[in-house]
């Protein structure tokens, strides 16, 4: 009682509430992230009967030629995909940021389109282009000579992964190229350096941290991806499909956990490197830095226009092919257009319910995830209490960056399905899928939220505290309105990624609660490729609609802000 009275004398009710929230959110992060990971780690050292196996599962893995071959295949696919995607994305971003070519708005939007589609769709579109009855294979319905390519295997996976990882590398490069100090180029000009020499001695060194980050991001994304190998991998096994086979096919949870840990290793390395690179890159800009000024160069602009045009066609052609194939009556024999494939009642999806389920899950993920993310970011960034707890919370908030979706799904099976877990009731419900999505995509919105909060003056909190205004009133009346663009961006990020994800939820969905992206896997496996394409089109259309609404809201918000500033 005396301790409580002392606390009341030292802190107000609002302070005690803030302290309680910091403790509660830290414990919640432990419960949602660290404890499930420990369950996964423990499972990897157990036999199938639950007895302790030591490193037996790892020894078995590395002495199984087929499983080791999967690891080799994954490293090969990831390495080749990364080299191609990073190279193409760099020159694409260079053309947009460093030349005077026209149509930059178009090229920027096209580069982002692969983010709106599940990776399974990239594989399906390649099937319609390069499969046995593909457009390119049959010379566009006989109009041209056909070109046959070995689609099912490493070629198809690599092309799909390049499409999947290209926008992620592009986003890194477009940001990195935008912060280069133009004074370096002026110094090179004064020394008489020609264009190629400036590119080698100034441009490449100035983007080296972005290049390292892009390499690790692309490598990790392709290393852990499940959709593309499942769609066009054929008999070419990779680690992600191995986990699926071990867990779903053979019910070997221990070996699935073992492969999951192996799948996490490159992601952890990438996470550490990315944190180091991010700190170093921030120190490259100074207050005296000047933005890059594009010089006139007609031939340069023409070359990059053709290059970016070719890349945009390579992105749009698979998407357009998928839309076309979803509307064709019987590919490639009856090209009558219609919408019969959008009636999923006679295929593996079992109707339109998986799509409606995905919309519901994605909206819930966006709402719940945005509230949780922004509140936790506010408590960590703006609070002055419990520094140790806030540091733990910050570390746990960044940890999901290093966790592949399939690893989160497996960890949640082992943790929430345990009969002694009081939260066991969540397993098999829609809410565990929402929770898995929030955790899977939590880190990027958290970084967005903290970056937005860092831009707000600390005087808001100091003045409120001096006037004895509760922190939650300042949060609702000042912080949230000023951070609305970031909050809406976070919500859109949660929604889009929840619509396209397969790996994080493929293990968690109940038999009577299917999701759109997962149903694409089922339909493609069952040979209902046209219906799978139709479901993919619905997902892409939904994500584009949400993105358009976000941009319209931000544009209107900026107009209102500009009018207010002009009145002032």
Tens of pLDDT along the chain (568 residues) come to 455 455 455 566 667 777 888 889 889 999 898 899 888 888 888 777 777 777 777 888 788 887 788 888 989 999 999 999 999 999 999 888 878 888 888 999 999 999 898 888 888 898 888 887 778 877 766 666 667 777 788 888 999 999 999 998 898 888 777 766 556 655 665 656 656 666 666 666 677 777 887 888 888 888 888 888 888 888 888 888 887 777 766 677 787 788 888 878 777 777 677 667 666 655 554 445 555 556 667 888 899 899 999 999 999 999 999 999 899 888 878 888 888 888 888 887 778 899 999 999 999 999 999 999 999 988 888 887 777 888 888 888 888 877 888 888 888 988 888 888 888 888 888 999 999 999 999 988 888 888 788 777 666 666 666 667 677 787 788 788 888 888 888 999 999 999 998 887 888 888 788 899 888 888 888 888 889 999 999 999 999 999 888 888 878 877 776 555 455 4
Given a contact cutoff of 8 angstroms between Cβ atoms, the answer to whether 480 and 409 are in contact is no
Backbone angles phi, psi at 345, to 5 degrees: -70, -25
Q: Rounded to 5 degrees, what angle do the CA atoms 365, 435, 35 make? A: 155
Distances (CA, A) of 253 to 47, 57, 225, 259, 340: 9, 11, 20, 10, 40
Which residue carries 């490069």 as its tokens? 173
In this predicted structure, what is the pLDDT of residue 539?
94
Contacts of residue 10, Cβ cutoff 8 Å, sequence gap at least 6 = none
Q: 278 vs 135, 266, 373, CA distance in Å?
A: 43, 18, 21
d(CA 513, CA 428): 9
Burial (CB < 10 A; 0-12, 13-18, 19+), residue 45, is middle
CA dihedral 199, 202, 208, 211 (to 10 degrees): -30
| Cα 424–Cα 429–Cα 432 angle in degrees, nearest 5 | 70
- Cα separation, 481 vs 471, whole angstroms: 15
Handedness of CA 113, 114, 120, 122 (dihedral sign): positive
Q: In the numeric block, which tokens belong to residue 561?
A: 């802000």
Distance between the two ends of the chain, CA-based, in angstroms? Answer: 53
Q: For residue 329, how far is the Cα from the chain centroid? A: 34
CB atoms within 10 A of CB 493: 21
**Residue 416, both tokens:** 């929430």
Q: Which residue has the tokens 């009018």?
A: 563
What tokens appear for 51 in the block? 């007895």
Q: SS3 letters for 168-203?
A: HHHHHHHHHHHCCCCHHHHHHHHCCCCHHHHHHHHH
- Is the peptide bond preceding residue 332 cis, with omega within 30 degrees of 0? yes
Query: In the beta sheet, which residues pair with residue 334?
Result: 330
User: Which one-letter DSSP state was computed for residue 403?
Assistant: -
Torsion 149-151-153-157 (CA) sign: positive
Q: Kindly report, residue by residue over 389-425, the tens digit of the pLDDT.
A: 888 888 888 888 778 888 888 889 888 888 888 888 8
**46 pairs with which residues across the strands?**
52
> Angle at Cα 267 formed by Cα 266 and Cα 273, nearest 5°?
90
Tokens of 284: 């490259």
Q: Which of 57, 73, 83, 282 is closest to 157 using CA atoms?
A: 73
Q: What is the residue-wise DSSP string for 316-345?
A: HHHHHHHHHHHHEEETTTEEEE-SGGG-GG
pTM recorded for the entire structure: 0.84
Question: Which pLDDT belongs to residue 287?
Answer: 45
């Amino acid at each position: 009682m005396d301790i409580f009275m002392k606390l009341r004398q030292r802190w107000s009710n609002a302070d005690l509430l803030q302290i309680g929230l910091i403790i509660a959110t830290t414990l919640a992060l432990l419960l949602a992230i660290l404890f499930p990971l420990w369950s996964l780690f423990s499972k990897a050292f157990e036999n199938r009967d639950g007895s302790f196996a030591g490193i037996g599962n790892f020894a078995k893995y590395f002495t199984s030629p087929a499983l080791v071959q999967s690891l080799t295949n994954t490293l090969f696919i990831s390495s080749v995909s990364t080299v191609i995607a990073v190279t193409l994305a760099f020159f694409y971003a260079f053309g947009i940021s460093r030349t005077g070519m026209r149509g930059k708005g178009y090229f920027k939007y096209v580069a982002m389109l692969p983010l709106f589609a599940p990776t399974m769709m990239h594989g399906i579109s390649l099937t319609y282009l390069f499969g046995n009855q593909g457009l390119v294979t049959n010379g566009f319905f006989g109009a041209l000579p056909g070109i046959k390519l070995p689609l099912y295997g490493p070629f198809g996976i690599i092309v799909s992964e390049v499409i999947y990882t290209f926008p992620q590398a592009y986003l890194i490069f477009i940001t990195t190229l935008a912060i280069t100090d133009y004074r370096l180029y002026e110094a090179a000009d004064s020394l008489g350096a020609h264009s190629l020499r400036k590119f080698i001695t100034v441009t490449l060194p100035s983007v080296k941290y972005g290049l390292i980050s892009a390499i690790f991001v692309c490598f990790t994304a392709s290393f852990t991806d499940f959709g593309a190998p499942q769609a066009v991998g054929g008999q070419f096994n990779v680690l992600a499909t191995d986990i699926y086979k071990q867990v779903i096919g053979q019910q070997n949870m221990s070996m699935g956990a073992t492969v999951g840990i192996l799948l996490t290793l490159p992601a952890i390395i990438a996470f550490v490197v990315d944190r180091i690179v991010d700190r170093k890159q921030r120190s490259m800009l100074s207050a005296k830095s000047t933005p890059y000024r594009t010089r006139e160069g007609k031939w340069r602009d023409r070359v990059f226009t053709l290059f970016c045009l070719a890349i945009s066609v390579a992105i749009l052609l698979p998407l357009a092919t998928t839309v076309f194939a979803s509307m064709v009556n019987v590919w490639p024999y009856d090209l009558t257009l219609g919408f019969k494939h959008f009636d999923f009642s006679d295929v593996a999806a079992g109707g339109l319910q998986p799509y409606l389920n995905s919309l519901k899950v994605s909206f819930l993920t966006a709402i719940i995830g945005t509230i949780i993310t922004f509140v936790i970011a506010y408590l960590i960034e703006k609070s002055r209490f419990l520094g140790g707890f806030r540091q733990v919370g910050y570390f746990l908030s960044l940890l999901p960056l290093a966790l592949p979706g399939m690893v989160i799904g497996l960890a949640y099976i082992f943790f929430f399905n345990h009969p002694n877990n009081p939260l066991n009731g969540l397993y098999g419900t829609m809410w565990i899928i929402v929770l898995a999505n929030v955790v899977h995509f939590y880190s990027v919105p958290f970084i967005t939220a903290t970056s937005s909060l860092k831009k707000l003056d600390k005087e808001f909190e100091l003045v409120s505290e001096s006037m004895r205004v509760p922190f939650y009133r300042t949060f609702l009346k000042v912080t949230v309105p000023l951070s609305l663009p970031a909050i809406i961006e976070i919500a859109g990020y949660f929604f889009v990624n929840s619509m396209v994800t397969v790996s994080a939820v493929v293990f968690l969905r109940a038999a009577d609660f299917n999701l759109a992206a997962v149903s694409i896997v089922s339909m493609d496996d069952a040979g209902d490729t046209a219906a799978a394409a139709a479901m993919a089109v619905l997902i892409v259309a939904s994500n584009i609609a949400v993105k358009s609404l976000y941009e319209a809201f931000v544009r209107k918000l900026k107009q209102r802000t500009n009018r207010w500033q002009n009145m002032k």
